[in-house]
Amino acid sequence: MKKNQTEQDSQSLNSILEKLRQEYWKNLSETEQEGKQEGVELLTFWLGEEHYGVDLSFSRHLLKLPRIVKLPHAQDWVIGIFNLRGDIVPALDLRRLFGLRLSETGPDSRLLVVEAKGVQSAVLLDRVGDIIFAENKSLQKSTGKESSIPAQFLKGYFLPERLAASSAEREKEKIIIWLDLEQLLGSEKLTAGFGEG
């Protein structure tokens, strides 16, 4: 009789422990899900006075300005082409393409090689910012007033988390305009730039 009681107690204890294990793993999983923030990693940069970001997953290389060969009959925003490890890559100046304020290239200027929809191009940057994680909850729909770049090429913009006191901090706190590289690199406007200028 005691043996049966001991077996029942053991089975009961095992079932209680199993329920506790399941509850523990379920709670742990829910806590992990709550801790995850939805968002995107952006590589940020400046074009003129405007602060932009592109999805980091599209970024391939960040280069000092290499030797660039000009193309005859190309639009003025097509800087030219260059050799990147055996691949010929077009270099583009989005400032000229969209009528942004131009500045001379300097020691902070870089080419960002990006790839979207199988198209690889390099974009001239005035200077590079940071790699940031931008939360979806901070994403605002583009109204077309945030940038000189048409809204069809923007995914939106991210607001700064807080207002900063010093001018250096204020510069960092500008909105970050999220470029839609897939839309931009696949656009007719861009591919037409390599024809007659």
Work out the angle at residue 17's Cα, subtended by the Cα atoms of residues 14 and 18, and round it to the nearest 5 degrees.
85
Asked if residue 95 and residue 15 are part of one domain, the reply reads no
Asked if residue 32 and residue 43 are part of one domain, the reply reads no
What CATH number should be reported for the domain holding residue 186? 2.40.50.180
For the chain, the distance separating the N- and C-terminal CA atoms, rounded to the nearest angstrom, is 98
The sign of the CA dihedral 113, 102, 133, 155 is: negative
Domain assignment of residue 29, given as a range: 1-36
Asked if residue 28 and residue 67 are part of one domain, the reply reads no
Asked if residue 27 and residue 45 are part of one domain, the reply reads no
Q: Which helix (H) or strand (E) holds 107?
A: none
- 155 and 142 Cβ atoms separated by less than 8 Å: yes
Could you tell me the pTM of the whole model?
Answer: 0.71
Asked if residue 52 and residue 21 are part of one domain, the reply reads no
Asked if residue 137 and residue 93 are part of one domain, the reply reads yes
Q: What are phi and psi of 85, to 5 degrees?
A: 50, 45
Tens of each residue's pLDDT in the chain, 197 residues? 555 555 555 566 677 777 777 777 777 666 555 556 788 899 999 988 889 999 999 999 999 999 999 999 888 889 999 999 999 999 999 888 888 777 788 889 999 999 987 888 999 999 999 898 988 888 888 877 778 788 888 898 887 764 344 444 444 457 899 999 888 888 776 666 555 44
Asked if residue 58 and residue 95 are part of one domain, the reply reads yes
